[in-house]
Structure 1
Amino acid sequence: MKVGELARATGLTVRTLHHWEERGLVVPSARTHSGHRVYDDGDVRRVYQVVALRELGLPLDAIGSLLTTGSFATVLAAHLEQVDARLAALHTLRGTLAGVVDRLRGAPDPAPSDVLRMIDEVSRVNDTFAQYFTPEQIAALQARRDEAEAAAAQWPDLIAAVRAEMAAGTDPGDPRVQSLASRWAELLATFHRGDEALRERLYRMRSDNPGEVVAAGGPDQAMIDYIAAAADAGR
């Protein structure tokens, strides 16, 4: 399949696949006569390996080393171990919630001990930020919190403008969309400031949690693909 088809099938962006190719992680096996990338079954398995290892919290450099020396079975086993750990944490949380719900049927409020236990368990299951960023990266983001919050306040209007162009069927190469794509890149740069590792983790957090991002007012995959196409057209 071509890069756009692979991006749609996996939920990744074309930009991410291009970046992985530049890093030597997933290099398409062939190209068409017109130069379009073509991915075969082996390439798709490689994409899964990168996604699985990235979900384990490994940086791209470490992933490249492991893919050079490891095996597909090793990646699958590591991914399975992480999924089992998450399921176990969710199972524990469910048991706590079920117990509290039962007790609430005869009392107006949960006991403080129940609340504390739920907070602890929810934190372990849903500590998304700590899952994706190193302590150093979190500290760096907190150090420029005011700047990041100012940028975040501009996202709703930008997303609404992009959505309006999509609804109107405006071509990504149109100057209006090009301008929106440039603004999009500027706001993202406010967060990562050219730090490729931080940028990758921001993208990974979004791609791993698309439902939560959309529910919070963020862009869906179709919008991200639209902006990526506009950025590509502007090169």
Structure 2
Amino acid sequence: MASTWRIGELCRRTGLTVRTLHHWDHVGLLRPSARSSAGHRLYDEGDVDRLYRIVALRELGLPLETIGGLLGDRTPGGPELAELLGDHLAHVERQLAALGGLRDRLATLVPLVRSAGGATPVDLLAVIEEVSRVDDTVRNYFTPEQLAALDERRARLGEETVRGVQDEWPTLIAQVQAELDAGTDPADPRVRALAGRWMELLEAFHGGDPGLRDSLYRMQAENSEQISQQYGGPSPALIDYVKRSVAAG
């Protein structure tokens, strides 16, 4: 028997709001396939597939009017979904390291969809939830103006430079962690050189803007455990070690 979801359950599973789904229903972007005997909206597996497409295209920066024109009445599943997941993945990989969880989910789904010709509603619901959660986290710490400034700096630096900075972080974190584990004095020249590079990479992110820097530090401080577990980010002890090394410089 095909699965169906009421609007409240769909919102709980995806992180979207009832107001958002009502609006998308009103403008004809996502209309539920059925109603219960009591008149409640019921969303089926095809609706979940369409919902994922809407969320993914919105993440790629398209307005709702354009999304509606692109989707039309297309049948869910198949190669089209694989292509959309691939585009979504490429977009996510250009974003901040905080989006790593979403990137990993999509990286898993793309080959599955390409090989199997579709993704299960459970998979798509999980991706939608991840998109909503990460978006909310970023908006809690950065203003729209700050995010626009980050996009502008990213475009100015170029994707190759940004990717190089992102790829360098895991190695640098491991090198500093090794010195901390070995009990090396933070004033040691070797640690000071690593701490100096650490600060250079941070500045590549905030560009010397004190507001961006403070927002970044606050996000790290308030989500340090989650960042460390999910994205391999530095622990509070490691950050303190770097700060002591910089202060000793």
TM-score (norm 2): 0.47
TM-score (norm 1): 0.50
